Structure 1
Amino acid sequence: MSSSEHPFRWRSLALPALLPTLLFSIGEGAILPIIPIVADRLGADLATAGLVASMIMVGHLIGDIPSGWLISKTGERPAMIGAAFVAAVGLGLAIASTSPFMLGASILVIGIASAVFALARHAFMTSFVPQSYRARALSTLGGTFRLGYFVGPFLAAGVIAITGSTTAVFGLHIVGCVAAAVVLLLLRDPAASFGASAASRSAHGPSTPEGGQLVAHETIGLFRTMWASRRILTTLGVGAALIGAIRASRAVILPLWAVSIGIGDANTALIIGIAGAIDFALFYASGQIMDRFGRLASALPSMIGLGLGHLALSFSHDLPGNVVWFITVAMFLSVANGIGSGILMTLGADLADPRNPAPFLGAWRFTADLGGAGAPLLISGVTAAVSLSLATGVMGVLALAGAGILLRYIPKYVPRSKL
């Protein structure tokens, strides 16, 4: 660690930086598997249920537009508190939904709030964590989200079993949002825990040449930032969009597949919860790989694995023992996704200016979320026109294409750590 970097202690992240993220993500992890199920209960067909589920990623995409500006103006903590309360309002509307359209609008609001919450924590990590620890810290942040996505479905299964109501799971996320806001209000601002202030960020130079080119532009807004960084976003950004697409595909296809082969609500939540445990268990290993061997050593096997897993699942729908195939592929996809934990956040942090990273990170996340929002819409369209199996196969091919783009464009100049 260079002398210009702030002193770093892992324990300084735990309560103020990671606990609110965990509380929020537990609730989000709980609702993700049940969104298509609730849509189905409200009368949606399989393709429409996929469309409703995609609204959370569309919300992420819309939320990326103002979030960089908002966080630059208000700071990370106020933005997260506001996002938690907006998400709670959206969840209340979801509970009251009487049609797939109303449910989709509610999920859209939740997605917008989730985007602001996630970007605020990403911006904090980029500013205050030394570069030699960056991949491990951001993988730990990614692992915190994954822990929530692991715990959430188990809690969802318990809530469904106890109450007999799938919509009651939305109430679980409301509790998570309120708890996250309370923690943020009561605990010390994590920026203060690092002994840093907004002024001290200017002491850092840009982490990459591309980051330096953005300094003159990054306070203007998302779209100007995107124009200034168009070379990055139209090359490596396409790979980031495909990573976002394949991750969103996995989150949408697995619940839809379970519905299509007749797995019950509670069992679906349980299977996805176990898959989340595997995903979560690999987060720190992913950070170690990136810090020691470079970003590509994590990204490439992850995307190849996700592609092969989607292709395998696409051929299994009508096979004997299709439930066993589903469970096996769900676990394999979790391994592939887990070894890529934190890759999008780490690449974004590598390219951003640490003095004020939020605007570029907003543009970077917008690009990745564009893929994440487009994938469920593509899945819904192909499912409606042909079949869910073909939609799954298409996503597998896109994952392999994304692996090729990452191989070509991931920067080779990012410093590596001697662990």
Structure 2
Amino acid sequence: MPLLVPSLLHGLGQGAAAPVVVLLALEHGASVPQAGLVAATAGLGMLVGDVPSGWIISRLGERRAVAASTLIGVAGAVLSALATRPDLIAVGVALVGLATAVSMVARQNSVVEVVAYSHRGRALSAVAASMRAGLLLGPFLGAALVAAAGPEGGLWLQAAALAVAGALMMCVPDATPRGSGGEGVTMVAVRHARVLTRVGSGAMVLGVCRTCRTAVLPLWAAHIGLDAVATSVVFGIGGAVDLLVSLPAGRALDTIGRVPVAVASTTVFAAGALLLPLANGAVSVAAVSVVLGAANGLSNGLLMTLGADLAPPGDRVAFLGLWRVAHDSGTVVGPLVVAGVTATAGLAAASLASGGLAAAGAVIFARVVPRYLPRRTSDHGDDNRCPAVLPADTIPSTT
């Protein structure tokens, strides 16, 4: 629970803050494109924080790193709530993103440390699912505070959620003691450059697919004439399917294997994106939303599990920070891809391009990942410190 609840609270804060950041920026004089850039600094902050996160955790120790990231995240949320200029709001949002990168690597590392390899996929999917549950609940709880205190209310809720999440994480035993730096981030990047670039390319494609889902689907709904309420309902249906599929997907990671789940999720993403231009009404758009939500749910916990499998035991946190760069690069690039293709060839072309990228991701996962996944026959050969929950001979092959 000290790992699942902080994930829920992080998602809760993010879900409460995301809608109001744009409103606050507009309220303080930003144009619509500028307000969009302010919101995008959250992803940029995470991307900037990914690389040093492993170094910070290994040098300070996990608990000190969590404490520091919590202070930075709370300060960022408070700054955004009190700011009267769009640029200051952007700085606060970026600080929250940077702090989130450190805390997510710390949570992932803690799960890998305490959970047997046979249950790794389920555990990491549960952590990811708890964050997605928070993202679904956040806007509703934030709306109550916004009604009482204005748009700043969502940011105050985020600050409180980050503070409580950090306090709970401090209850977790320190999985990475202070000064356990291993080879360092630069050496890890050089030594594992091939796996980070080859398998990381699939992770980047998945990041692009996820952000294209959140960008293209609402735009297409508006394009065919659905109002804001109908669009929200359609998107909410997909989010509910996403959450429902998440935990079974985690079990599939442990029982069927990493590669089949990775190929399935990207293939379903491709199908949904390719079908979207054919949707011309609320029912058909909702059906595509269900397909895309299922794809997103299938990928829930996938990249964290792959990163944990591929990470060298002595330099795990450094590797995990570098591993996150690939996916977070995709989340930053995704909206730019959608905007660029839409501007030149139209929204339908943007959806088809997303489908093509997802299909390419399925090929990458199918052909590249099995070469690098370690084959383990028991938990005694793994870097976990807890005994296996299942007997060694029941642990599934990762391929």
> What's the TM-score once normalised by structure 2's chain length?
0.82
Is 1:303–2:288 an aligned residue pair? no
Shift of 1:381: 3.7
Match of 1:287 among 250, 259, 279: 250
Match of 2:299 among 324, 336, 340: 340
Q: Which residue of 1 aligns with 2:131?
A: 145
Shift of 1:184: 3.5
Identity of aligned residues (%): 35
Match of 2:16 among 21, 30, 34: 30
Shift of 1:105: 3.4
Once the two structures are superposed, the pairs formed by residues 47-58 of structure 1 within 5 Å of their partners are 50-58=36-44
Shift of 1:138: 1.1
Match of 1:277 among 240, 250, 256: 240
User: In the TM superposition, what whole-angstrom CA distance separates every residue of 1:250-282 from its partner, at most 9, and x where no partner exists?
Assistant: 344456666776744x87666555533322222
Structure 2: distance between partners of 1:382 and 1:400: 18
Q: Which residue of 1 aligns with 2:31?
A: 44
Is 1:373–2:356 an aligned residue pair? no
Q: Which residue of 1 aligns with 2:386?
A: none
Change (3 A) 1:85 1:327: farther
Given that 1:146 and 1:280 are in contact with CA atoms closer than 8 Å, whether structure 2 keeps it comes out as: yes
Given that 2:57 and 2:176 are in contact with CA atoms closer than 8 Å, whether structure 1 keeps it comes out as: no
Given that 1:135 and 1:288 are in contact with CA atoms closer than 8 Å, whether structure 2 keeps it comes out as: yes
Paired residue secondary structure (2:299):
coil
User: In the TM superposition, what whole-angstrom CA distance separates every residue of 1:224-250 from its partner, at most 9, and x where no partner exists?
Assistant: 322211111221111011112222333
The one-letter amino acid paired with 1:86 is: I
The one-letter amino acid paired with 1:24 is: H
Match of 2:159 among 164, 174, 190: 174
Change (3 A) 1:386 1:164: farther
Q: Which residue of 1 aligns with 2:79?
A: 93
Given that 1:57 and 1:248 are in contact with CA atoms closer than 8 Å, whether structure 2 keeps it comes out as: no
Please tell me the root mean square deviation across aligned C-alpha atoms, in Å.
Answer: 3.1
Structure 2: distance between partners of 1:335 and 1:388: 22
Given that 1:153 and 1:272 are in contact with CA atoms closer than 8 Å, whether structure 2 keeps it comes out as: no
Greater shift after overlay, 98-107 or 359-368?
Answer: 98-107
Match of 2:168 among 173, 178, 183: 183
Q: Which residue of 1 aligns with 2:196?
A: 233
Is 1:245–2:208 an aligned residue pair? yes
Shift of 1:292: 0.9
Given that 1:23 and 1:148 are in contact with CA atoms closer than 8 Å, whether structure 2 keeps it comes out as: yes
Structure 2: distance between partners of 1:258 and 1:95: 31
Given that 1:300 and 1:407 are in contact with CA atoms closer than 8 Å, whether structure 2 keeps it comes out as: yes
Given that 2:125 and 2:302 are in contact with CA atoms closer than 8 Å, whether structure 1 keeps it comes out as: yes
Change (3 A) 1:109 1:81: same
Given that 1:157 and 1:269 are in contact with CA atoms closer than 8 Å, whether structure 2 keeps it comes out as: no
Given that 1:127 and 1:357 are in contact with CA atoms closer than 8 Å, whether structure 2 keeps it comes out as: no
Structure 2: distance between partners of 1:103 and 1:262: 31
Q: Which residue of 1 aligns with 2:110?
A: 124
Paired residue secondary structure (1:357):
helix
The one-letter amino acid paired with 1:228 is: R
Shift of 1:349: 0.5
Structure 2: distance between partners of 1:269 and 1:58: 26
The one-letter amino acid paired with 1:342 is: G
Paired residue secondary structure (2:3):
helix
Shift of 1:72: 0.9
Given that 1:154 and 1:269 are in contact with CA atoms closer than 8 Å, whether structure 2 keeps it comes out as: no
Q: Which residue of 1 aligns with 2:316?
A: 357
Structure 2: distance between partners of 1:166 and 1:295: 42
Structure 2: distance between partners of 1:167 and 1:386: 38
Structure 1 stretches lacking a partner, 5+ long: 1-13, 203-217
Shift of 1:27: 0.9
Change (3 A) 1:114 1:357: same
User: In the TM superposition, what whole-angstrom CA distance separates every residue of 1:355-406 from its partner, at most 9, and x where no partner exists?
Assistant: 4410111111112222222222333444455545443332222111111111
Shift of 1:352: 0.9
Greater shift after overlay, 409-418 or 365-374?
Answer: 409-418
Paired residue secondary structure (1:55):
helix
Change (3 A) 1:351 1:197: closer
Structure 2: distance between partners of 1:314 and 1:37: 30
Shift of 1:20: 1.8
Once the two structures are superposed, the pairs formed by residues 96-107 of structure 1 within 5 Å of their partners are 96-98=82-84, 101-107=87-93
Paired residue secondary structure (2:313):
coil
Structure 2: distance between partners of 1:254 and 1:37: 21
Q: Which residue of 1 aligns with 2:140?
A: 154
Shift of 1:177: 0.9
Structure 2 stretches lacking a partner, 5+ long: 378-393
Change (3 A) 1:335 1:387: same
User: In the TM superposition, what whole-angstrom CA distance separates every residue of 1:177-231 from its partner, at most 9, and x where no partner exists?
Assistant: 122133345xx3345xxxx7859xx9xxxxxxxxxxxxxxx73433432221111
> What's the TM-score once normalised by structure 1's chain length?
0.78
Paired residue secondary structure (1:247):
helix
Change (3 A) 1:52 1:311: farther
